[in-house]
Amino acid sequence: MQHDPNILIKLVKMQMPFGKYKGTILCNLPVSYLEWFNKKGFPDGSLGMLLLTIFEIKLNGLDYLLDPIKKMN
């Protein structure tokens, strides 16, 4: 698997492209929505990888790691 060094930047810039939270920045999605994806299955491709990443960040209480990136953008 290839690692993208810009993943955290994408999490604070990219908007959810569909669904109930369409237009919401990925890092601002509620945990309940990410838990739903975790149960039902994340989308294929890069969006699914990004949603899984933000889910893991939130699940482990690591949201603060995104704060400096948010301030830069």
pLDDT tens track for 9-46: 999 999 999 999 999 999 999 999 999 999 999 999 99
- Cite the DSSP H helix spans in the chain: 7-13, 31-40, 45-59, 67-72
Domain boundaries, the chain: 7-72
pTM: 0.90
How many angstroms separate the Cα of 58 from the Cα of each of 1, 30, 35? 23, 9, 10
Distance of CA 65 to the CA centre of its chain: 13
pLDDT tens track for 45-68: 999 999 999 999 999 999 999 999
